[in-house]
A and B are shown apart, each in its own frame.
Chain A
Amino acid sequence: MKHKFIIPLTIIIIVIGVIVACIFGFNLGEKYKMQTRLRIPFEESFDISDVKQIADDVLGGASYTIGYSDDFKSSVEIYIEGVTDEQFQNFENKLKEKYPTFADDENTEETEETTETEETKIAESKIIIGTVMPETNPFDLVKVYIKPMLITLAIVIVLLTIYARKYGIIKALFSNLALILAINAVYVSLIAICRIPLNEYIISFGIFIYGISLICASIYSKTIAKN
């Protein structure tokens, strides 16, 4: 009864996963999306949670990641998908309100010397816009594993087929291959369906799942050979 339930469910998950992946693609992790890196150096002590709060208020629903950009924790980096000029200016103004010394006093003095108008007494922006990074191709994240996975798959399939040859070579070959591919396809489909962000942890866990699929196939071969 349990077995009858598993196979249709597996097929449904894989089909839905393929459809979702084809239409919407995979949800790339924050680090791999198209993003701009902002670096904010501070000359006074600061609390990163304050910076995060300001970013939440100003940047609205935009997805971003925030963290220290150096080991001395003297500057903050924000990776953001896209930021308008208005949002950028608001962000800077809020930081200046919270941290008055954030405005560069030296530049303000230079500006005062060179011109008389009030409008030019604006500190030079301290937020540094770094590298604009295009979106990563998901294939680039996994391609290093394709060769070893294919080699181990070929060796293991041959081994399992020979081990379970009494079951029938063709039957053993295809049933083992189907089991290995099904387990991995379910994992990839669940990533696509649940929009799990694709990052190095998910890919590493995928290698673990691949190993588990080979182990499952060997247990299956042992069972069919025994029967």
Chain B
Amino acid sequence: MEKKLKIILCVVLTILIALVAFLGVYSKDEAGILYKSKLPDYVLSSDFKNKRVSSFIIDDSTEEKIYDADGKEVDSIPEGESEDNYKKEETKINPDWTRTLENYEKAKEILEGRLKILAIDNYLIRLDKATGNLAVELTDELDTDTTLQYLSAKGDFEITDTDTGDVLMDRSDLDNVSVIYGRDPDNLSAINVYVDFKFNKTGKEKLAQISRDYIKVEESEEETETTDETDEAENSEDTEDTESEESKQKTITITIEGQTFNSTYFGEEMTTGELPVSIGSASNTDDLQTYLKRGQMYEMLLNNDEMPLTYTITNSEVVRGNLAENGLKIATIIVGVIFAIIAIYSIIKYKADGLIMTISYIFASALLALLVRYTRTVVSINSFMAGALLLIVNSYIIIEVLRLINNEEMSVWSSFKNACLKNILLIVIAIIIAVVFTFMSNVKAYSFGITLFYGVISIAISNFLILRTMLLAHHEK
């Protein structure tokens, strides 16, 4: 009687958990009209979501460049000057000599590097080796437009003299760019966000020089103010000098992608080779996220090489996620077929014990489904493959358990112990695969690992709670 009760309890528990996991629990919403699921939804990977496919075409247009009599490039012909003193040239934005296979492949690599910095790992970049054009496929999200805009940018960087336009530093002096933030010392409720430019050895020396040349003029003003106050003539001259010095405050302009990023002068000599530049002060989390995101875009642009070619985005369209309907069906069928084969084999060979094993698998699958929902595990096609792998590994061990119980007439607990010890290597390898794949940043590899990991936990609980209990009840005398 007690044995039958245990078996019935295990079966009822399995049915209950299977119903909850696979069918869900619904209750009426606040309005009392619609039924809403009480369980959290599955988090599907971007495989199942809509994609944005964009064409990156090499810019074939030309630009007009103006050179003065000395051959120096100027922005425009000054008013009043004769055009004869200047030479205009139409040059291709992407000269023919830049259109090589090497540059096409470099452009693709740079895009991949940029996407890596943005932690976007579900993408596909296709290169047409004949024309150099690219097709970039990303998951369609709210900020995809912004991502694409920055992605196609060339990534040039210059520090110039604001007045003369002379280039003081460029990309070749940069080592690394990062985004940092910290409390504003003058306003503790605000957080300042900075883009921190780190320069290489050459850049560090140039920065130190520039910081001396473009230092804040006020220091000189104070010195002049502290000279002999009785000499009014001198003071008035000094004041005039200060006024003229103030108007000569030299500033630098930091330009990224042809746009002014910041214009400033230096408060002190910069000897560390680092130049943090504020991009905003955030007083709430939303603002902070906005500034951090903006900073990340600069990081993306400048922590990879400059694009060897200029691209324009000519076509950007949303493409329906084609896995949404078929993908889940195919994956479920594969796992279902493997499960069915194992179940049929074990029931035919081991009869009641085989049925017990099948019931324990249903419990384990249901438990895994609930774990995946509540832990917000990303589900991809690879998750189903992890489930299939675990099914096979566990079946191998459990069939060994059943063989020991039926053929060698060992007790249930001894059979479990023996089978697990004999196959400890199998269990360890499954855990190694789970752990290594879980630590990968790519979501496809990660979903395989994490599902395998939770699967191991579900199988362990199911084997202990359901399988062992039912086998004991079935075999104990």
B-binding residues in A (CB < 8 A): 31, 34, 37, 39, 67-71, 77, 130-137, 140-141, 144-145, 147-148, 151-152, 155-156, 159-160, 163, 200-201, 204-205, 207-208, 211-212, 214-215, 218-219, 221-222
Shortest Cβ distance from B146 into chain A, in angstroms?
A: 20
Q: Which residues of B contact A137 (CB under 8 A)?
A: 126-127
Assess the A204–B385 pair: CB atoms within 8 A: yes
Q: Is the interface of B mostly helix, strand, loop or mixed?
A: helix
Q: Which residues of B contact A222 (CB under 8 A)?
A: 422-423, 425
With A and B bound together, what is the CA distance between A20 and B372 in angstroms?
41
Q: Which residues of B contact A148 (CB under 8 A)?
A: 436-437, 440, 445, 449
Q: Which residues of B contact A214 (CB under 8 A)?
A: 429, 433
CB < 8 Å: which of B320, B384, B429, B448 contacts A215?
A: B429
From known contacts A37-B53, A130-B315, A131-B54, infer whether A156 and B320 are also in contact, taking CB-CB under 8 Å: no
Assess the A133–B127 pair: CB atoms within 8 A: no
With A and B bound together, what is the CA distance between A138 and B229 in angstroms?
80
A150's nearest neighbour on chain B, judged by CB, is B436
The 3 closest A-B CB pairs, nearest first, are A134-B128, A208-B385, A144-B442
**Is B392 on the interface with A (CB-CB < 8 A)?**
yes
Q: Which residues of B contact A160 (CB under 8 A)?
A: 425
B121's nearest neighbour on chain A, judged by CB, is A144
Contact with A along B224-254 (1 / 0, CB 8 A): 0000000000000000000000000000000
From known contacts A144-B121, A215-B393, infer whether A151 and B436 are also in contact, taking CB-CB under 8 Å: yes
Question: Can you name 18 extra interface pairs (CB under 8 A) apart from A205-B334, A218-B426?
Answer: A37-B319, A67-B322, A130-B315, A135-B126, A147-B440, A148-B449, A152-B433, A155-B432, A156-B432, A200-B323, A204-B384, A204-B385, A208-B389, A211-B385, A212-B389, A214-B429, A215-B429, A219-B396
Assess the B320–A207 pair: CB atoms within 8 A: no
B315's nearest neighbour on chain A, judged by CB, is A131
Q: Which of B379-400 contact A (CB under 8 A)?
A: 381-382, 384-385, 388-389, 392-393, 396
Q: Which residues of B contact A132 (CB under 8 A)?
A: 55, 135
Assess the B382–A204 pair: CB atoms within 8 A: yes
Q: Which residues of A contact B440 (CB under 8 A)?
A: 144, 147-148
Assess the B320–A155 pair: CB atoms within 8 A: no
Q: Which residues of B contact A34 (CB under 8 A)?
A: 128
**Is B47 on the interface with A (CB-CB < 8 A)?**
yes
**Is B118 on the interface with A (CB-CB < 8 A)?**
no
CB < 8 Å: which of A136, A145, A200, A221 contacts B425?
A: A221
Q: Which of B406-465 contact A (CB under 8 A)?
A: 422-423, 425-426, 428-430, 432-433, 436-437, 440, 442, 444-445, 448-449
Interface residues on B, range: 35 or more
With A and B bound together, what is the CA distance between A134 and B323 in angstroms?
21
- Number of A-B pairs, beta carbon distance below 8 Å: 116
CB < 8 Å: which of B125, B385, B428 contacts A159?
A: B428
Q: Which residues of B contact A37 (CB under 8 A)?
A: 53, 317, 319
Shortest Cβ distance from A61 into chain B, in angstroms?
A: 23
Of the listed residues B127, B393, B437, the one surrounded by the most CB atoms of chain A closer than 10 A to its CB is B437
From known contacts A133-B135, A134-B135, A222-B425, infer whether A211 and B47 are also in contact, taking CB-CB under 8 Å: no
Shortest Cβ distance from B328 into chain A, in angstroms?
A: 12
**Is B330 on the interface with A (CB-CB < 8 A)?**
yes
**Is B348 on the interface with A (CB-CB < 8 A)?**
no
Q: Which residues of A contact B449 (CB under 8 A)?
A: 148
**Is B133 on the interface with A (CB-CB < 8 A)?**
yes
With A and B bound together, what is the CA distance between A148 and B437 in angstroms?
6
With A and B bound together, what is the CA distance between A134 and B131 in angstroms?
10
B437's nearest neighbour on chain A, judged by CB, is A148
Of the listed residues B125, B128, B331, B433, the one surrounded by the most CB atoms of chain A closer than 10 A to its CB is B433
Shortest Cβ distance from B429 into chain A, in angstroms?
A: 5
Shortest Cβ distance from A150 into chain B, in angstroms?
A: 10
Q: Which residues of A contact B444 (CB under 8 A)?
A: 144-145
Assess the B53–A134 pair: CB atoms within 8 A: no
**Is B124 on the interface with A (CB-CB < 8 A)?**
yes
Assess the B322–A31 pair: CB atoms within 8 A: yes
CB < 8 Å: which of B124, B315, B436 contacts A152?
A: B436
With A and B bound together, what is the CA distance between A145 and B433 in angstroms?
12
Assess the A215–B392 pair: CB atoms within 8 A: yes
Q: Which of B171-188 contact A (CB under 8 A)?
A: none
With A and B bound together, what is the CA distance between A170 and B388 in angstroms?
33
Shortest Cβ distance from B205 into chain A, in angstroms?
A: 38
With A and B bound together, what is the CA distance between A204 and B444 in angstroms?
9
With A and B bound together, what is the CA distance between A34 and B129 in angstroms?
12
Assess the B445–A131 pair: CB atoms within 8 A: no
Assess the B393–A136 pair: CB atoms within 8 A: no
CB < 8 Å: which of B323, B388, B436 contacts A155?
A: B436
Q: Which residues of B contact A201 (CB under 8 A)?
A: 327, 330-331, 381
Q: Which residues of B contact A152 (CB under 8 A)?
A: 432-433, 436-437
A214's nearest neighbour on chain B, judged by CB, is B429
Q: Which residues of A contact B442 (CB under 8 A)?
A: 144
Assess the B323–A131 pair: CB atoms within 8 A: no
Q: Which residues of A contact B128 (CB under 8 A)?
A: 34, 134
Shortest Cβ distance from A33 into chain B, in angstroms?
A: 10
Shortest Cβ distance from B236 into chain A, in angstroms?
A: 71
With A and B bound together, what is the CA distance between A37 and B315 in angstroms?
11
Shortest Cβ distance from A132 into chain B, in angstroms?
A: 7
From known contacts A132-B135, A200-B47, A212-B389, infer whether A144 and B432 are also in contact, taking CB-CB under 8 Å: no
Q: Which residues of B contact A134 (CB under 8 A)?
A: 126-129, 133-135
CB < 8 Å: which of B129, B317, B393 contacts A130?
A: B317
Assess the A207–B322 pair: CB atoms within 8 A: no
Sample 20 A-B pairs with CB under 8 A, ordered by A number.
A37-B53, A70-B320, A130-B317, A131-B53, A131-B317, A134-B126, A135-B126, A144-B444, A148-B436, A159-B425, A159-B432, A160-B425, A163-B425, A201-B327, A204-B382, A204-B384, A207-B448, A212-B389, A214-B433, A222-B423
Shortest Cβ distance from B140 into chain A, in angstroms?
A: 12
With A and B bound together, what is the CA distance between A135 and B382 in angstroms?
24
Contact with A along B299-340 (1 / 0, CB 8 A): 000000000000000010101101100010011001000000
Of the listed residues A37, A151, A207, A212, the one surrounded by the most CB atoms of chain B closer than 10 A to its CB is A207
With A and B bound together, what is the CA distance between A202 and B426 in angstroms?
25
With A and B bound together, what is the CA distance between A152 and B428 in angstroms?
12
With A and B bound together, what is the CA distance between A134 and B445 in angstroms?
26
